Amino acid sequence: VEERLRYNALADKVMSAKDAASIITDGMTLGLSGFTRAGDAKAIPMALVDRANAGEKFKVNVFTGASLGSDIDALMSDAGIVNKRLPFQLDRTMRGHINKQDMYFVDQHLSVTAEYLRQNAIDPIDVAIVEAVAITEDGLLIPTTSVGNSPIYVQTAKKVIVELNLASYEQLEGIHDIYVPEAQGQRGAIPLLSASDRIGSIGIPLDPEKVAAIVLTDQVDTPTSMTAIDDETQQIADNIIDFLRNEVKEGRLTDTLAPLQSGVGSVANAVLGGMVNSEFKDLEVYSEVLQDSVFDLIDAGKVKFASGCATSLTAEKLDSVFGNLEKYKDKLCLRPQEISNHPELVRRMGLIAMNTALEFDIYGNVNSTHVAGNKMMNGIGGSGDFARAARISIFITKSYAKEGKISSIVPFVSHVDHNEHDVDVVVTEQGLADLRGLAPRQRAELIIENCVHPAYKPALRAYVEEANTRGGHTPHVLEKALSFHTNLAKYGQMIAPEDAE
């Protein structure tokens, strides 16, 4: 413990999770560490669940970096203790409670939570609960496998509880780069010019007066599960790599490409994985989440530097990465999510951004979050932070879902996360549509031709034909614009049975 807790002023703050959690009361707002199951606070949320299960009635607002592991979101939402959750979740059970209206969820661009807190525009943080590898002799909290929103939570909270995780890897010390911008209006340029720049300190400064408790823990992160790559996923990855190859051929990129950002999930992992055998070299990753494939690319000598705000690793990768951190130390950096996702930096470095869609429409509007218009899936995450500011913004989905009953390309999206102005390229296993410089009617033609599953081409072509008879810049048949979705609700499939071939 002495090696991990090196700040003498805090030695007498060590206590049990139960005692530490006793400062948390009904109506408080908690700022938890944790991003894509990495580096989440574990003991205090469980202590709160235990209190609820023992009969205590209370609700708290739970703010995090992104998703949590250890089923914490499921357990907290089942226990009924979450009033409001923000800014992202990725949990089937919690999703159910959100959609049953048992709790509130604020689906927020992941880079902006920190700005709202600085502006005092959202509920201020009462208690920050942050997992740490160590607290240094000069009072820096060293985060574990993610940074997320922890710096702003610690900076603005009234009280701080540190979960000092003795099972986390000591070698993480030195991996992080903690830079917290000044308030808007008082800040200059963020001095980061390339993915490998270090602009801050190795840890989060702690005010000892605010530290209410230090809880010793030894629970490791929950590994990420990854769906195996199927033929269609591989085809999507191949389509994107071909597109990038053509960008090089046309002289718009070189074979080092541009810093790469990719969202989470198996497709994103496959796209980066596909680069292992490509001609691209000396790549940089400037992303939010670093998945398995980033480390494969480092191992293969393809990626020279990777910057993110969190890792998201499968069970087999967790040990091989964190057990060999020395190998990755000079090629890896974890930053606050407002820096990993900062539009100023995304635009400056000219990122290639690859994010996922549930559906997109014939004009290039993208829905990443809502199933059939009203049911929350996971959240927008960082996709919007990157999409608008990126050099090339690519959105990815299979062309169909649910055994073909759903087309992922529709006349009009049932919810908009990324509008047509922020979407450069859409891609499915059928093909890719480069929308840059195309007017709406040209976009519709190319998307239907290149991306739509053959089963849905006739219906979409008929829609466009009818829409065009009505004229307009972005032609629509308004009373039929959501017909795919209303059919789905009525018949369980997007094409009405009488229209099915």
Task: List residues with catalytic annotation.
Answer: 288
Q: Are 142 and 203 in contact (CB under 8 A)?
A: yes
- Considering only 89, 311, 383, 487, the residue that binds ligand 0RQ (CB under 6 A) is 383
Residues 423-442 that bind ligand 0RQ (CB under 6 A): none
Stretch that binds ligand 0RQ, among 189-197, 251-259, 373-381, 459-467 (CB under 6 A): 373-381
Q: Which residues pair with 60 in a beta bridge?
A: 82
Return the number of the residue (36 or 70) whose C-beta is nearest ligand 0RQ: 36
Give the β-pairing of 352-356 and 359-361: unpaired
Interface characters, 81-100, with ligand 0RQ (x: CB under 6 A)? -------x------------
380 is a site residue for ligand 0RQ (CB under 6 A): yes
483 belongs to the binding site for ligand 0RQ (CB under 6 A): no
64, 355, 393, 430: which one contacts ligand 0RQ (CB under 6 A)? 355
- CB of 10 vs ligand 0RQ, minimal distance in Å: 31
Which of 52, 216, 325, 377 is in the footprint of ligand 0RQ by CB under 6 A?
Answer: 377
Q: Please identify the residue of the shown chain whose CB is closest to the bound ligand 0RQ.
A: 381
Q: How far is the CB of 194 from ligand 0RQ (least distance, A)?
A: 22
Query: Could you say which of 74, 161, 226, 371 contacts ligand 0RQ (CB under 6 A)?
Result: 371
Nearest Cα to 30, choosing from 120, 163, 210, 154?
154
Using CB under 6 A as the binding rule, whether residue 382 contacts ligand 0RQ is answered as yes
Among 49, 313, 345, 406, binds ligand 0RQ (CB under 6 A): 406
Question: Least Å distance between CB 349 and ligand 0RQ?
Answer: 18
CB of residue 92 vs ligand 0RQ: minimum separation in angstroms?
8
Phi, psi of 6 (to 5 degrees): -100, 5
Residue whose CB is less far from ligand 0RQ, 29 or 108: 108
Stretch that binds ligand 0RQ, among 202-210, 319-327, 371-379, 437-445 (CB under 6 A): 371-379
Of 40, 288, 420, 422, which lies in the binding site for ligand 0RQ, with binding defined by CB under 6 A? 288
Contact 164, 355 (CB under 8 A): no
Site for ligand 0RQ in 253-282 (CB under 6 A): 263-265, 267
Size of the site for ligand 0RQ (CB under 6 A): 28
Phi, psi of 365 (to 5 degrees): -75, 145
Does position 285 interact with ligand 0RQ (CB under 6 A)? The reply is no
Give yes or no for residue 73 binding ligand 0RQ (CB under 6 A). Answer: no
Helices (H), 377-501: 383-389, 440-451, 457-469, 483-491
Copy the structure tokens of residue 455: 């089963």
By CB under 6 A, is residue 411 in contact with ligand 0RQ? no
State which residue, 126 or 417, has the beta carbon closest to ligand 0RQ: 417
**Which string of DSSP letters, residue by residue, matches 140-169?**
EEEE-SB-BTHHHHHHH-SEEEEEEETTS-
Q: Which of 61, 40, 58, 45 is nearest to 104 (CA)?
A: 61
Based on the shown chain and the rule CB under 6 A, indicate whether residue 110 belongs to the binding site for ligand 0RQ: yes
Kindly state whether residue 213 participates in binding ligand 0RQ, applying the rule CB under 6 A. Answer: no
Cβ at position 359, least distance to ligand 0RQ in Å? 4
CB 166 within 8 A of CB 215: no
Beta carbon nearer to ligand 0RQ, 222 or 378 = 378
Question: Is residue 402 part of the contact set for ligand 0RQ (CB under 6 A)?
Answer: yes
> CA nearest 155: which of 135, 191, 184, 128?
128
Other CB atoms within a 10 A radius of the CB of residue 141 amount to: 27
CA dihedral 21, 25, 27, 29 (to 10 degrees): -30
Query: Exposure string (b/e) for 260-296, b if CB count within 10 Å is 16 or more?
Result: bbbbbbbbbbbbbbbbeeeebeebbbbbbbbbbbbbb
- Among 180, 190, 401, 496, which residue sits at the site for ligand 0RQ (rule: CB under 6 A)? 401
DSSP 494: S
Burial classification of residue 472, based on how many CB atoms lie within 10 Å of its CB (0-12 exposed, 13-18 middle, 19 or more buried): exposed
Nearest-angstrom CA–CA distance, 95 and 77: 9
Nearer to ligand 0RQ, 288 or 338 (CB): 288
CB of 464 to ligand 0RQ, least distance (A): 19
Do you find a cis peptide bond into 458, omega within 30 degrees of 0? no
Say how far apart CA 120 and CA 114 lie, in whole Å. Answer: 10
- Chain residues binding ligand 0RQ by CB under 6 A are 36, 66, 88, 110, 263-265, 267, 288-289, 355-359, 368, 371, 377-378, 380-383, 398, 401-402, 406, 408
